[in-house]
Protein backbone atom coordinates (compact mmCIF):
# COMPACT_ATOMS: atom_id res chain seq x y z
CA UNK A 1 0.00 0.00 0.00
CA UNK A 2 2.78 2.45 0.89
CA UNK A 3 4.58 1.76 -2.40
CA UNK A 4 1.34 2.24 -4.39
CA UNK A 5 0.64 5.57 -2.72
CA UNK A 6 4.20 6.80 -3.24
CA UNK A 7 3.95 5.91 -6.94
CA UNK A 8 0.60 7.68 -7.19
CA UNK A 9 1.97 10.83 -5.55
CA UNK A 10 4.99 10.78 -7.84
CA UNK A 11 2.80 10.46 -10.95
CA UNK A 12 0.56 13.31 -9.80
CA UNK A 13 3.56 15.53 -9.07
CA UNK A 14 5.04 14.80 -12.52
CA UNK A 15 1.74 15.63 -14.22
CA UNK A 16 1.40 18.93 -12.37
CA UNK A 17 5.03 19.90 -12.99
CA UNK A 18 5.02 18.82 -16.64
CA UNK A 19 1.97 20.71 -17.82
CA UNK A 20 2.01 24.23 -19.30
CA UNK A 21 -1.67 24.82 -18.54
CA UNK A 22 -3.90 23.92 -15.61
CA UNK A 23 -5.23 20.36 -15.71
CA UNK A 24 -8.75 19.56 -14.56
CA UNK A 25 -9.60 16.68 -12.24
CA UNK A 26 -11.01 14.82 -15.24
CA UNK A 27 -7.75 15.17 -17.16
CA UNK A 28 -5.67 14.12 -14.17
CA UNK A 29 -7.86 11.07 -13.62
CA UNK A 30 -7.44 10.03 -17.24
CA UNK A 31 -3.64 10.49 -17.02
CA UNK A 32 -2.91 8.51 -13.85
CA UNK A 33 -3.63 4.79 -13.80
CA UNK A 34 -4.34 4.61 -10.06
CA UNK A 35 -7.11 7.20 -10.46
CA UNK A 36 -8.65 5.28 -13.37
CA UNK A 37 -8.93 2.26 -11.08
CA UNK A 38 -10.95 4.21 -8.49
CA UNK A 39 -14.30 2.50 -7.91
CA UNK A 40 -16.37 5.70 -8.09
CA UNK A 41 -16.17 9.44 -8.59
CA UNK A 42 -16.47 10.00 -4.84
CA UNK A 43 -13.59 7.59 -4.20
CA UNK A 44 -11.45 9.38 -6.79
CA UNK A 45 -12.27 12.81 -5.36
CA UNK A 46 -11.30 11.75 -1.84
CA UNK A 47 -8.09 10.15 -3.11
CA UNK A 48 -7.15 13.19 -5.19
CA UNK A 49 -7.79 15.69 -2.37
CA UNK A 50 -5.66 13.63 0.04
CA UNK A 51 -2.86 13.32 -2.51
CA UNK A 52 -2.96 17.05 -3.26
CA UNK A 53 -2.73 17.86 0.45
CA UNK A 54 0.13 15.39 0.91
CA UNK A 55 2.11 16.95 -1.94
CA UNK A 56 1.59 20.43 -0.53
CA UNK A 57 2.71 19.20 2.89
CA UNK A 58 5.87 17.85 1.23
CA UNK A 59 6.57 21.33 -0.13
CA UNK A 60 5.16 21.25 -3.66
CA UNK A 61 3.49 24.55 -4.59
CA UNK A 62 0.23 23.64 -6.36
CA UNK A 63 -1.84 26.43 -7.88
CA UNK A 64 -5.60 26.27 -8.32
CA UNK A 65 -6.76 28.15 -11.44
CA UNK A 66 -10.28 28.74 -12.70
CA UNK A 67 -10.71 29.24 -16.44
CA UNK A 68 -13.27 31.35 -18.29
CA UNK A 69 -15.78 28.49 -18.29
CA UNK A 70 -15.58 28.18 -14.52
CA UNK A 71 -13.69 24.87 -14.63
CA UNK A 72 -11.04 24.46 -11.96
CA UNK A 73 -7.57 23.26 -12.93
CA UNK A 74 -4.31 22.54 -11.17
CA UNK A 75 -0.63 22.96 -12.00
CA UNK A 76 2.74 23.28 -10.26
CA UNK A 77 4.88 25.91 -11.95
CA UNK A 78 8.55 24.99 -12.21
CA UNK A 79 9.76 28.45 -11.24
CA UNK A 80 7.71 28.24 -8.02
CA UNK A 81 9.10 24.81 -7.17
CA UNK A 82 12.73 25.33 -8.09
CA UNK A 83 15.24 25.15 -5.26
CA UNK A 84 17.55 28.14 -4.88
CA UNK A 85 21.07 27.71 -6.32
CA UNK A 86 23.52 25.95 -4.02
CA UNK A 87 26.54 28.09 -3.25
CA UNK A 88 29.49 26.64 -1.36
CA UNK A 89 32.79 28.31 -0.71
CA UNK A 90 36.08 26.38 -0.66
CA UNK A 91 35.95 25.74 3.10
CA UNK A 92 32.38 24.39 2.99
CA UNK A 93 33.20 22.14 0.04
CA UNK A 94 36.29 20.87 1.85
CA UNK A 95 34.16 20.03 4.90
CA UNK A 96 31.80 17.97 2.72
CA UNK A 97 34.74 16.23 1.07
CA UNK A 98 36.18 15.45 4.49
CA UNK A 99 32.89 13.92 5.58
CA UNK A 100 32.81 11.76 2.46
CA UNK A 101 36.36 10.55 3.10
CA UNK A 102 35.42 9.54 6.63
CA UNK A 103 32.92 7.02 5.29
CA UNK A 104 34.85 5.68 2.34
CA UNK A 105 35.49 2.34 4.10
CA UNK A 106 31.82 1.91 5.05
CA UNK A 107 28.67 1.10 3.10
CA UNK A 108 27.82 4.81 3.14
CA UNK A 109 30.66 5.54 0.71
CA UNK A 110 28.40 5.33 -2.35
CA UNK A 111 25.79 7.63 -0.84
CA UNK A 112 28.40 10.18 0.18
CA UNK A 113 30.00 10.17 -3.27
CA UNK A 114 26.61 10.46 -4.96
CA UNK A 115 25.66 13.42 -2.78
CA UNK A 116 28.80 15.29 -3.79
CA UNK A 117 28.13 14.58 -7.46
CA UNK A 118 24.62 16.03 -7.09
CA UNK A 119 26.07 19.12 -5.44
CA UNK A 120 28.45 19.51 -8.36
CA UNK A 121 25.53 19.27 -10.77
CA UNK A 122 23.58 21.82 -8.71
CA UNK A 123 26.24 24.48 -9.00
CA UNK A 124 29.28 23.61 -6.92
CA UNK A 125 32.09 25.70 -8.42
CA UNK A 126 34.21 23.79 -10.92
CA UNK A 127 37.43 25.13 -9.40
CA UNK A 128 36.56 23.61 -5.99
CA UNK A 129 37.56 19.99 -5.48
CA UNK A 130 35.80 18.58 -2.39
CA UNK A 131 38.12 15.57 -2.44
CA UNK A 132 41.28 17.64 -2.47
CA UNK A 133 43.52 16.94 0.51
CA UNK A 134 43.59 19.84 2.94
CA UNK A 135 46.56 19.34 5.22
CA UNK A 136 47.72 16.01 6.54
CA UNK A 137 44.35 15.07 8.05
CA UNK A 138 43.06 11.82 6.56
CA UNK A 139 40.15 10.63 8.73
CA UNK A 140 38.95 7.04 8.70
CA UNK A 141 36.11 5.33 10.50
CA UNK A 142 36.63 1.58 10.05
CA UNK A 143 33.45 -0.47 9.95
CA UNK A 144 34.14 -4.19 9.90
CA UNK A 145 31.15 -5.47 11.89
CA UNK A 146 28.29 -6.94 9.86
CA UNK A 147 25.86 -5.57 12.44
CA UNK A 148 26.68 -1.95 11.61
CA UNK A 149 24.45 -1.42 8.59
CA UNK A 150 21.25 -3.06 9.92
CA UNK A 151 21.68 -1.24 13.23
CA UNK A 152 22.29 2.07 11.48
CA UNK A 153 19.07 1.63 9.51
CA UNK A 154 17.18 0.57 12.64
CA UNK A 155 18.36 3.69 14.47
CA UNK A 156 17.27 5.85 11.56
CA UNK A 157 13.85 4.22 11.18
CA UNK A 158 13.24 3.75 14.94
CA UNK A 159 12.73 -0.02 14.66
CA UNK A 160 13.35 -2.47 17.54
CA UNK A 161 15.95 -5.16 16.86
CA UNK A 162 16.87 -8.56 18.24
CA UNK A 163 20.36 -10.07 18.27
CA UNK A 164 22.59 -12.45 20.23
CA UNK A 165 25.17 -10.72 22.39
CA UNK A 166 28.19 -12.14 24.20
CA UNK A 167 29.34 -10.15 27.20
CA UNK A 168 33.05 -9.94 27.94
CA UNK A 169 32.71 -12.30 30.90
CA UNK A 170 30.21 -14.74 29.37
CA UNK A 171 31.05 -18.01 27.67
CA UNK A 172 27.94 -17.98 25.47
CA UNK A 173 25.88 -15.24 23.81
CA UNK A 174 22.44 -14.27 25.11
CA UNK A 175 19.42 -13.00 23.14
CA UNK A 176 18.70 -9.28 23.44
CA UNK A 177 15.67 -7.25 22.37
CA UNK A 178 16.70 -3.61 22.00
CA UNK A 179 15.24 -0.29 20.94
CA UNK A 180 18.31 1.26 19.22
CA UNK A 181 19.06 4.92 19.78
CA UNK A 182 22.42 5.71 18.21
CA UNK A 183 25.74 4.27 17.09
CA UNK A 184 28.94 5.75 18.47
CA UNK A 185 32.56 5.12 17.52
CA UNK A 186 34.79 5.21 20.59
CA UNK A 187 38.54 4.61 20.34
CA UNK A 188 38.26 2.45 17.26
CA UNK A 189 35.25 0.40 18.43
CA UNK A 190 31.58 0.82 17.54
CA UNK A 191 28.94 0.85 20.25
CA UNK A 192 25.14 0.78 20.13
CA UNK A 193 23.24 2.71 22.78
CA UNK A 194 19.61 1.81 23.32
CA UNK A 195 16.85 0.53 25.58
CA UNK A 196 17.02 -3.14 26.59
CA UNK A 197 13.41 -4.27 26.80
CA UNK A 198 14.08 -7.46 28.77
CA UNK A 199 16.01 -5.55 31.45
CA UNK A 200 13.90 -2.38 31.23
CA UNK A 201 17.06 -0.32 31.32
CA UNK A 202 19.43 1.73 29.19
CA UNK A 203 22.28 -0.38 27.82
CA UNK A 204 25.28 -0.07 25.52
CA UNK A 205 26.50 -2.92 23.29
CA UNK A 206 29.83 -3.30 21.56
CA UNK A 207 29.19 -4.32 17.96
CA UNK A 208 32.12 -6.73 17.83
CA UNK A 209 30.35 -8.83 20.49
CA UNK A 210 27.13 -9.19 18.50
CA UNK A 211 26.94 -12.68 17.00
CA UNK A 212 24.76 -13.79 14.11
CA UNK A 213 22.30 -11.57 12.26
CA UNK A 214 20.52 -8.49 13.53
CA UNK A 215 16.77 -9.04 13.13
CA UNK A 216 14.22 -6.22 13.04
CA UNK A 217 11.02 -6.40 15.06
CA UNK A 218 7.68 -4.69 14.63
CA UNK A 219 6.01 -2.26 16.97
CA UNK A 220 6.78 1.19 18.34
CA UNK A 221 9.38 2.20 20.91
CA UNK A 222 8.30 1.81 24.53
CA UNK A 223 10.95 4.14 26.00
CA UNK A 224 11.68 7.77 25.23
CA UNK A 225 14.74 8.36 23.06
CA UNK A 226 17.18 10.79 24.72
CA UNK A 227 18.93 13.58 22.85
CA UNK A 228 22.25 13.03 21.09
CA UNK A 229 24.37 14.50 23.88
CA UNK A 230 22.91 12.13 26.45
CA UNK A 231 23.51 9.12 24.21
CA UNK A 232 27.14 10.08 23.68
CA UNK A 233 27.69 10.51 27.40
CA UNK A 234 26.11 7.10 27.97
CA UNK A 235 28.41 5.45 25.43
CA UNK A 236 31.46 7.09 27.00
CA UNK A 237 30.33 6.03 30.45
CA UNK A 238 29.72 2.40 29.50
CA UNK A 239 33.02 2.33 27.64
CA UNK A 240 34.70 3.23 30.93
CA UNK A 241 35.94 6.70 29.98
CA UNK A 242 33.89 8.76 32.43
CA UNK A 243 35.31 8.38 35.93
CA UNK A 244 34.47 10.31 39.07
CA UNK A 245 36.81 8.47 41.47
CA UNK A 246 39.94 6.31 41.57
CA UNK A 247 40.73 2.64 42.09
CA UNK A 248 43.88 1.04 43.46
CA UNK A 249 45.12 -2.13 41.79
CA UNK A 250 48.15 -4.39 41.73
CA UNK A 251 49.48 -5.13 38.26
CA UNK A 252 52.09 -7.67 37.28
CA UNK A 253 55.30 -6.03 36.04
CA UNK A 254 55.65 -5.93 32.25
CA UNK A 255 51.90 -6.37 31.61
CA UNK A 256 48.74 -4.31 31.31
CA UNK A 257 50.14 -1.46 29.25
CA UNK A 258 46.68 0.03 28.50
CA UNK A 259 46.11 0.26 32.26
CA UNK A 260 49.49 1.88 32.76
CA UNK A 261 48.67 4.48 30.11
CA UNK A 262 45.57 5.52 32.08
CA UNK A 263 47.21 5.42 35.51
CA UNK A 264 47.45 8.57 37.60
CA UNK A 265 50.38 7.06 39.52
CA UNK A 266 52.54 3.91 39.42
CA UNK A 267 54.59 2.55 42.35
CA UNK A 268 56.89 -0.46 42.25
CA UNK A 269 56.08 -3.02 44.95
CA UNK A 270 58.79 -5.54 44.14
CA UNK A 271 58.41 -9.30 43.61
CA UNK A 272 57.18 -8.63 40.06
CA UNK A 273 54.24 -6.35 40.99
CA UNK A 274 53.37 -2.66 40.68
CA UNK A 275 50.66 -0.60 42.36
CA UNK A 276 48.56 1.66 40.12
CA UNK A 277 45.96 4.33 40.79
CA UNK A 278 43.56 4.39 37.83
CA UNK A 279 40.29 6.22 37.03
CA UNK A 280 37.23 4.29 38.20
CA UNK A 281 34.13 4.57 36.06
CA UNK A 282 31.32 2.32 34.91
CA UNK A 283 32.63 -0.70 33.01
CA UNK A 284 36.04 -0.83 34.72
CA UNK A 285 35.29 -4.23 36.30
CA UNK A 286 34.67 -5.80 32.87
CA UNK A 287 37.89 -4.28 31.54
CA UNK A 288 40.00 -5.49 34.46
CA UNK A 289 38.70 -9.04 34.03
CA UNK A 290 40.25 -9.12 30.56
CA UNK A 291 43.73 -8.98 32.16
CA UNK A 292 43.06 -12.16 34.13
CA UNK A 293 45.61 -13.12 36.81
CA UNK A 294 47.83 -10.11 36.02
CA UNK A 295 45.48 -7.78 37.98
CA UNK A 296 44.43 -7.74 41.65
CA UNK A 297 41.98 -5.07 42.84
CA UNK A 298 42.90 -3.52 46.18
CA UNK A 299 40.32 -0.71 46.49
CA UNK A 300 37.44 0.02 46.52
CA UNK A 301 35.81 -3.10 47.95
CA UNK A 302 32.81 -2.88 45.63
CA UNK A 303 35.03 -2.97 42.55
CA UNK A 304 36.96 -5.91 43.95
CA UNK A 305 33.67 -7.78 44.56
CA UNK A 306 32.45 -7.05 41.03
CA UNK A 307 35.68 -8.36 39.49
CA UNK A 308 35.58 -11.51 41.65
CA UNK A 309 31.95 -12.16 40.64
CA UNK A 310 32.83 -11.82 36.96
CA UNK A 311 35.79 -14.17 37.28
CA UNK A 312 33.62 -16.75 39.01
CA UNK A 313 31.03 -16.48 36.23
CA UNK A 314 33.73 -17.11 33.64
CA UNK A 315 35.08 -20.09 35.62
CA UNK A 316 31.57 -21.64 35.79
CA UNK A 317 31.20 -21.23 32.03
- Give per-residue burial for 207-241: e unless 16+ CB within 10 Å, then b: bebbeeebeeeeeeeeeebbeeeebeebbbbbbbe
pLDDT in the model for residue 70:
79
Q: In three state form, how does the secondary structure of 10-59 look? A: HHHHHHHHHCCCCEEHHHHHHHCHHHHCCCCHHHHHHHHHHHHHHHHHCC
Read off the pLDDT of residues 15-25 as tens digits, 9 standing for 90 and up. Answer: 998 888 899 99
pLDDT in the model for residue 136:
46
Question: From CA 269, how far away is CA 298, in angstroms rounded?
Answer: 13
pLDDT in the model for residue 137:
47
The closest alpha carbon to 249, from 272, 274, 286, belongs to: 274
Phi-psi region for residue 212, left (φ > 0), alpha (ψ -120 to 50) or beta?
Answer: left
Read off the pLDDT of residues 253-295 as tens digits, 9 standing for 90 and up. Answer: 988 888 898 899 999 999 999 999 998 877 788 788 888 899 9
Name the β-bridge partners of 57.
Answer: none
pLDDT in the model for residue 1:
45
pLDDT in the model for residue 134:
46
What parts of the chain have a pLDDT lower than 50?
1, 133-137
pLDDT in the model for residue 218:
86
The closest alpha carbon to 191, from 145, 243, 259, 244, belongs to: 145
pLDDT in the model for residue 139:
52
Amino acid sequence: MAIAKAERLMNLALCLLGTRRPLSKRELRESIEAYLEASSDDSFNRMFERDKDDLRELGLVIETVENLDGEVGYLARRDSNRLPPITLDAEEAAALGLAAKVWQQARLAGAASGALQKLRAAGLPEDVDPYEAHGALEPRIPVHEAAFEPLMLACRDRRPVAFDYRKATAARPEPRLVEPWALECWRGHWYLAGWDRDRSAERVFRLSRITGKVRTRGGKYTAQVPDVVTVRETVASWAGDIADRSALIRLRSGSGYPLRAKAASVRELGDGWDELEIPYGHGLDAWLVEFGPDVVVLEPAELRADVVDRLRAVAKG
